[in-house]
Copies of this chain bind each other. A is one copy, B any other.
Amino acid sequence: MPKVFNARALWSTESDPHRAEKIAKNYGIPNWTNDVSKVLNHPEIDAVIICSPTDRHAEQTIEAARNKKHIFCEKPLDLDLDVVNKTIMATKDAGVKLMIGFNRRFDANFLRVKRAIDHDEVGKINMVRITSRDPSPPPVSYIKSSGGLFHDMTIHDFDMARFLIGDEVDEVYAMAQSVNLDIAAAGDIDTAVVLLKFHNGVICYIENSREAAYGYDQRVEVLGSKGSVACDNKYPNQVVVSTNESVRRDLPLHFFLERYMDAYVAEMEAFIHVCTTNGASVPVGGNDGREALLLALAANKSLAENRPVKVNELRG
């Protein structure tokens, strides 16, 4: 598998018109443009990586698909289910591959947990816990355009739940609060527990917080008939300092860039593999994006109506 991905062209949406040029220069990318269509139509380009703002994902994916490019698109395809369905359909019609950026599936810890499940190290799964906490809340401006906690943050956990359990969700119940007054004023929540009942009976509970003072907290624990498998956070070192006050270590890796740097690389390698290998199937496809979106919609509905919500209510 090639370790280096030679980009042919780069487009940047940033307001700074010189940004694409600068980056291209720095990294030796031969072409750059401020017109995204020039990338999506470029005759020498086989595949595109779409990391634009969420509201451009669907249109750019559709345009790329029509130009027969394979597509890696950051999650979510869109916040509207119909748009998502239409976009997925466009990639199918065009016969191109569509991969969604659920980076955590490529993290060494979660992959090892998945392997424990697949290799029957813990037997039949009965219960799954997903803990996902950010080190500190984003600015309220971000919160306002984020689509809300379930779309912005829990969406990764919904995908992780489906990835680990290997089934679809029947029913969703959410309980939440807003600890941060600014977030509350913006109409969002920052602390939540979401229960998922899967069709196969497995119960999954996801817990989120926008503020864990000690840093990014990303753990899962699976209870099966033969035992459990759980992963802890990653730390910058394995050093312990013992004094007359405490036995302590440094904080875990602070946020997603540090924690998932290796996962992002593995994700890109997987996309390159998919694009360059006949018959290779996409590890995280459009349907995965759609199902996670449905769970976010169901969680929002559960919270609004304070009742358990069947996912089928939202399939329309």
Docked complex: A226-262 residues within 8 A CB-CB of B: 226-234, 236-252
- Residues of chain B contacted by A191 (CB below 8 angstroms): 126-127, 203
**Minimal Cβ-Cβ distance residue in B for A242:** B214
Give how many A residues have a beta carbon under 8 Å from the other chain's beta carbons: 66
One of B111, B123, B248 near A246 (C-beta < 8 A):
B248
| Residue contact A226 to B244, C-beta cutoff 8 Å | yes
Chain A 188-232, CB within 8 Å of chain B: the 1/0 string?
000111010100011101010101111001000001011111111
| Residue contact B209 to A127, C-beta cutoff 8 Å | yes
- Residues of chain B contacted by A252 (CB below 8 angstroms): 247
| Residue contact A126 to B214, C-beta cutoff 8 Å | no
Instruction: Choose, from A41-49, A62-70, A172-180, A279-287, the stretch at the interface.
Output: A172-180
| Residue contact B193 to A175, C-beta cutoff 8 Å | no
Chain A 34-57, CB within 8 Å of chain B: the 1/0 string?
000000000000000000000000
| Residue contact A250 to B242, C-beta cutoff 8 Å | no
**Minimal Cβ-Cβ distance residue in B for A222:** B241
Chain A 89-112, CB within 8 Å of chain B: the 1/0 string?
000000000000000000011011
Contact A213 B109, CB 8 Å, known A203-B193, A231-B238: no
One of B113, B240, B242, B306 near A308 (C-beta < 8 A):
B306
Instruction: Decide yes or no whether A116 CB sits under 8 A from chain B.
Output: yes
Instruction: Decide yes or no whether A129 CB sits under 8 A from chain B.
Output: yes
- Residues of chain B contacted by A25 (CB below 8 angstroms): none
| Residue contact B250 to A246, C-beta cutoff 8 Å | yes
| Residue contact A244 to B175, C-beta cutoff 8 Å | no
Measured between C-beta atoms, what is the minimum distance from A123 to chain B in Å?
8
| Residue contact A127 to B242, C-beta cutoff 8 Å | no
- Residues of chain B contacted by A239 (CB below 8 angstroms): 109, 112-113, 116, 229-232
| Residue contact A244 to B227, C-beta cutoff 8 Å | yes
Chain A 161-174, CB within 8 Å of chain B: the 1/0 string?
00000000000010
* Residues of A near any B CB (own CB < 8 A): 108-109, 111-113, 116, 121-124, 126-127, 129, 133, 173, 175-177, 179, 191-193, 195, 197, 201-203, 205, 207, 209, 211-214, 217, 223, 225-234, 236-252, 306-308
Q: Please give 20 more A-B residue pairs, beta carbons under 8 A apart, in addition to A179-B225, A226-B243.
A: A112-B237, A122-B243, A129-B129, A133-B223, A173-B195, A176-B203, A177-B201, A177-B203, A205-B205, A213-B228, A213-B244, A214-B244, A214-B247, A227-B241, A227-B243, A231-B237, A232-B240, A246-B246, A246-B248, A247-B249
Question: Could you pull out 8 A-B pairs where Cβ atoms are within 8 angstroms?
Answer: A109-B238, A175-B195, A177-B203, A217-B228, A228-B242, A233-B238, A247-B252, A307-B308
